[in-house]
Structure 1
């Protein structure tokens, strides 16, 4: 059974990745493992309390890791171990998928220097925080979802499209038609 890691951190916007994880578990039969800087409880933007199943360091020893998904959240410091894990998964061409402000972690790891990406975080937002911009803006595309090789990024509002890009990359459905039918069912008519 393939493993999909999810980096969790304080004030993360977990709702941006929950649909993806639901289908990865129920349709894709993936093992979902939350990883964090430590195993102390943390509070998400939605007010839910989470505890990582494993530390980032533990993740280096897992066999069969297929992907790392990172939800959005505040611009925050990056654990050095996360940078190392992202770089290792990049060398192995595992899926690196991040949404909203989550691509900040890929940017600091140098991944976005070589891949087109999108994010919800504007240069003005970064400037207002008075921190270094983690995004190489020359690679930025103003799109809902950007898939460049094994890297998928999305704006926060595109969480359904983000999920489907992840499903497609990990090939969890029996056919493209099954994937498309579910997408059309979820999207539904606009009334």
Structure 2
């Protein structure tokens, strides 16, 4: 069985990834732009096992998980990794604002998806961002959306909302 990559970054919302990683019960490899301590929104510190550039050379990857968070730095190596995995039909899962990385990589084009980043929220959280990376015509207002190899979810999608 292949690796599950989890992209970690400063101020990520780590609770969004922990349940998913726990339920997978597989080898999870945390990756980041640099091998240095990453502080999450909760204050917990993580240390990546590899860089995103390292992950480009991995041959046994099954999926990439991207938790939410309001850090919009996207380097070319992450875009390359997302596009490479998408071209191979590997699972791409993004939670809450983590969907921005898939959108910037262009893999949401023609795919249904969900995100917390409405156009209004995008302007609120990322006022310096010049353009909306999301293909709004395929946005779906649901907790979880799966379209082929891409799963997107809101940050609270693990909560059963039927009785609220």
Relative to the length of structure 1, the TM-score reads 0.79
Query: How far off its partner does 1:133 sit?
Result: 1.6
Of 62, 67, 87, 1:91 maps to 87
Larger radius of gyration: 1
2:35 maps to 39
Match of 1:12 in 2: 12
Q: 1:68 aligns with which of 54, 59, 64?
A: 64
1:75 to partner: Cα distance: 4.3
TM-score with structure 2 setting the length: 0.92
Distance 2:49 2:34 in 1: 9
Q: Separation in 1 of the partners of 2:128 and 2:53?
A: 30
Q: Report the Cα distance in structure 2 between the residues aligned to 1:93 and 1:12, rounded to whole angstroms.
A: 25
Return 61-70 or 147-156, whichever deviates more.
61-70
Residues 18-167 of structure 1 aligned to structure 2 (within 5 Å): 18-25=18-25, 30-128=26-124, 129-131=127-129, 132-158=131-157, 160=158
- Report Cα offsets for 1:26-77 as digits up to 9, x if no partner: xxxx211000000111210100011111000111222221000000000412
For these two proteins, the number of residue pairs brought into alignment is: 160
- Report the structure, 1 or 2, having the larger helix content: 1
Q: Which runs of 5+ in 1 are unaligned?
A: 162-186
User: Relative to 1, partners in 2 of residues 1:122 and 1:7: Cα closer, same or farther, differing over 3 Å?
Assistant: same
Q: Give the distance between the partners of 1:110 and 1:42, measured in 2 at CA.
A: 26
Q: Take 2:146 and 2:31, find their aligned partners in 1: how far apart are those partners?
A: 24
Q: Any runs of at least 4 consecutive aligned residues in structure 1 with deviations exceeding 2 A, and if so which?
A: none
